[in-house]
Amino acid sequence: MLVNGRKASKMAVFRISATQYCALALLLSLVLSSGAFFLPNSALGWLILVDALLVIHGVYLKNKISALLRLGVAQLALTLPLYYLIHGEGQMLEGVIVVLRVFLALLPGWWLSATQKPERIGEVLSWGLPAKWAFVIAASIGLLPYMLQETKEIYAIQCLRGANITPKALRNPKNWPELIYCVVLPVLIQLLKLSKQMATAAKLRHFGCVSKPTHWPAKREEE
């Protein structure tokens, strides 16, 4: 009994520390993402440095950032021509800064989803939010890596079918609607299907019947 009591005590300490670490990671992500939009241009260098440390940490934990980098390049390729057409050559640098701010706002979310488990995020969010809201937000964050992989697979399949959605083909704006029909809409349908499955699973587990649901422990007790 004494041995089991020591194990339980050690288990409780580990769970608290893991939850607190998740809370700090969530707070840091919110601060950095907000700073990407509200900080002046002169302070973006410091924000880039901090986000670079997060990227190094995420990559060190063997998480892929290639999809996020491709998204940033795509945003840059779409935004700069629009700035050139609307504002002229003199505002091109401003367009680069806008894309940079959006990319810096996305980086902390990538790091959070790559380093924290959804059940820990849901537990932290339940401190100040209703359990259902916390569950939805945590599930959405947890779905990001999965949906990125699904998008990559759908894109590859549509390219094999001959869709004009290759990077070279997308240089022509006439092919942009095909990207929506072949990739964006299937991804949305897959997301709706997965959301319905998650809602059904939560309902079958009687989620929402109690105001303070239990949370999966950070580490199962070794027998």
Tens digit of each residue's pLDDT (9 = 90 or more) over 158-208: 888 888 888 788 778 788 888 888 888 988 888 888 888 887 877 777 776
Is pLDDT of 75 > 90?
no
How much is the pTM?
Answer: 0.65
Residue 198, CB-side half-sphere exposure with 13 Å CA sphere: 15
More confident residue, 210 or 29: 29
**Mean pLDDT of the 129-141 span:** 75
Classified as helix, coil or strand, 32 is helix
How far separated are the first and last CA of the chain, in Å rounded?
13
Count the domains in the chain. Answer: 2
Is pLDDT of 142 > 80?
no
Name the residue among 74, 32, 91 with its Cα closest to residue 57: 32
- Does one domain contain both 148 and 69? no
Of 69, 93, 116, the domain-final residue: 116
Q: Has residue 85 been placed in a domain?
A: yes
Structure tokens that stand for 211 in this block:
């105001």
- Does one domain contain both 15 and 107? yes
Structure tokens that stand for 73 in this block:
């390049």
Residue range(s) defining the domain that contains residue 143 = 131-223
Reported as type and span, the H/E element at residue 1 is none
The angle at the Cα of 42, spanning 48 to 95, to the nearest 5 degrees, equals: 75
Rounded to whole angstroms, how far apart are CA atoms 42 and 40?
5
Q: How many CB atoms lie within 10 A of CB 104?
A: 21
- Does one domain contain both 203 and 177? yes
Q: What is the mean pLDDT of the chain?
A: 78
Is pLDDT of 49 > 90?
yes
Rounded to whole angstroms, how far apart are CA atoms 120 and 179?
36
**Mean pLDDT of the 111-123 span:** 81
